[in-house]
Amino acid sequence: MNDVAPFSMFDFMTPAEIAQRNQEKRQEILGWLGRYFFSTVSVMSALLRIDERNTRSLLNKMESEQLLRSEVIPSGHRLYGLSATGVAQVQEISPYFAKIARPYQNGRIPLSTLAHHLNTQVAELSLSALGWHDFASERELYTLQTQQVPDLTAFDQHERYTAIEIELTQKSSQRAKAIFSNYAQLVEAEPDICIPFQRVLYLTPFPKRIREMMDDFVPVEKRCLFEVDYLFPLPLKLTPRRIRVGGTLEG
């Protein structure tokens, strides 16, 4: 029988290094909730790259310090967000958050909003693992003042500035036509000071339908700048799953 004891990275870190890493994890949580307003243990476990037990312990400690607040919503999910004290601390970390961070308020998250926001968070984590970087969430993008605000933006692994849409429900043809028409005016292959995006990426459980609508509503000369890939939507227990990467997303 092999009696090798388990070990972790902390076995090779000094106390000062452990304290520094713990502080970094706390700041990651505060920054993430500043950008996304709420999240779950499983999503933030993926963010921190630690197991859910340790993530839950850290979140509960931060809640006991009144940096976070949480609630269990009727679907059975526990959501964590910033308290007023947490918002103030986030703003101290970076003045950037002063415009977007706000305290979490219980009882105000519809299930449809929950699903969309959490799938957006998982999309960011998944794309980040493929080399995408400099993400901005929808709440951060309203300053663009464009006729179409994406769910996310980021630079892909080829440094193309990309608008990312998380499409969990099938929109009407009329609504889809308006959105694709807007994006057709906002995307060009070469960077342009007046055109914000170089690529539009849809992540969706029904890529075939999205491709059909693109063929119908995106001008022929712009279709090469629109792409679709499959997104496994989060199951009801909300355990993060990676995007099934195909073709153009493969890095």
Domains of the chain: 9-109 (1.10.10.10), 113-249 (3.40.1350)
| Backbone phi, psi, residue 59, to 5° | -60, -40
Strands 199-204 and 161-166: parallel
Q: What is the distance between the alpha carbons of residues 140 and 96, in angstroms, rounded to a whole number?
A: 10
Cβ–Cβ under 8 Å, residues 161 and 199: yes
- Point out the least confidently predicted range of 75-79, 163-167, 204-208: 75-79
Closest CA to 189 of 147, 226, 228: 226
- Mark 83-120 as b/e (b = at least 16 C-beta within 10 Å): beebbebbbeeeeebeebbeebeeeebeeeebbbbbbb
Q: What is the distance between the alpha carbons of residues 84 and 79, in angstroms, rounded to a whole number?
A: 16
In total, the chain counts a number of residues equal to 251
Strands 226-230 and 199-204: parallel
Q: What is the distance between the alpha carbons of residues 148 and 163, in angstroms, rounded to a whole number?
A: 10
Per-residue pLDDT at 246 exceeds 50: no
For residue 240, the model assigns a pLDDT of 52
Largest CA distance in the chain: 67
Q: What is the mean pLDDT of residues 213-225?
A: 96
Q: How would you list the strands of the sheet with 161-166, edge to edge?
A: 133-137, 152-155, 161-166, 199-204, 226-230
For residue 93, the model assigns a pLDDT of 81
Per-residue pLDDT at 150 exceeds 70: yes
Strands 78-82 and 68-72: antiparallel
pLDDT class for 215, splitting at 50, 70, 90? very high
> What confidence tens digit (pLDDT) does each residue in 28-61 have?
999 999 999 999 999 999 999 999 999 999 999 9
For the chain, the distance separating the N- and C-terminal CA atoms, rounded to the nearest angstrom, is 42
Q: What is the distance between the alpha carbons of residues 161 and 155, in angstroms, rounded to a whole number?
A: 4
For residue 146, the model assigns a pLDDT of 74
